[in-house]
A and B are shown apart, each in its own frame.
Chain A
Amino acid sequence: MSLGLKALKKSPWVFHVNTGACNNCDIEILDALTPRFDVERFGIVLVGSIRHADVLLISGPVTRNVLPRLKRLYEQAPKPIKVIVIGACGCNCGIFRDGYNIIGPVDKHIPVDAYVPGCPPKPETIIAGVVKVLNTL
């Protein structure tokens, strides 16, 4: 295991993107940081810039307006980056599947490492998803 990878496993920094979700998944991601779940004690930190991120959490179906921005974010991310899709909308567009402004789930546009289904997934599920991805490293 390279030094960089070891550091990544020790303290993964996550960045989160809402590509058109109803923002419930985003609230649950934030919720995982607050006292009841408190993932910061494991070194998982939500960062404000994609350039600092090790893990990208994406919620929501991809809307037409957001797609160019999503692709740019993925390009800007330092590699290797792990992409985790949070919520039913990101996994398969969920209830918005037939919307005219929705252009497919996230994995149609960028590579995805893990899916966390649920509408919205509970914070426990989100944490379990991140841990599973880290275990594969």
Chain B
Amino acid sequence: MLKKFFLIILLLLLADSLSAQNVLFNSKNRLSFADNLFCEQDYLRAFNEYREYLKFGYNDTVIFKISISLAQMGRFSEAIDYNKTLFGSLRLSEEAKFEFYRNLFLSNRINEFKYFYETDSFIPSEKEVYLKRMLLTSDLLSMKKYNLNLDELLKAFPRSIADTLTNFYKRLSFPNQKDPMLAGIYSALIPGLGKVYTEEYGDGITAFLLTGILTYLAVDNFNADHKYRGWLFTGLAAYFYAGNIYGSVSSAHKFNADLRLSLDSDMKIFFNKNNYFIPKPRFICD
């Protein structure tokens, strides 16, 4: 009898020393610590803790939170992999699917988005509107006007931003673009005129003066019979004349690119600031 007790004690002590991995590291505590890190937005640490936790058993909420942690850190493709594993989950399949679409959208994998969206017959109606918004936003951000219909756009987003959206839509046709060809022709006629056309007035005047002075020097030297100097300045004048034509064409390109860039950054800032008009993922702490 006594022997048995000793054995039990020994076993208990053994079990204790085996579990000597601190109580702090048991699965329950690991989970609560991980949740805390998640709330602190310390996502990489939370992610590691959740993964350790999963070694003890399956938990779909944990997998969901892992996917959110990854997405928050910008690791979208890994997040998408985790999202996919939850499609069969009882409680979280809808949410996981929505996060899946969101991650595809945020990582700019629009073709995949469209493919799944068109073949998916299980999209809940309350999420439908948000998916529609993602699609329209990505069309808007890719600046393909022919894909877009203003009425559809206005209908999909809150009424309060109708003016901003209309403004973006109008800017998409770039009414103020400059024609590079025209800029080149202007500069060929009068040096610097092309730059004036692309609204670089200072550069235009400088180009005019530079070519003018070099031409004057060339003519003056020929008149004074300084042949060598005459040809030198002729060459320089021709070089800068050609350079200015090239510069005017490239200036028109730059002007147009700047229009696109400013629209791009305006739209991005606007949508980013408003979280793309999509609700935040579940479980995220404020």
Are these two chains actual partners, yes or no?
Answer: no
Residues of B within 8 A of A (CB): none
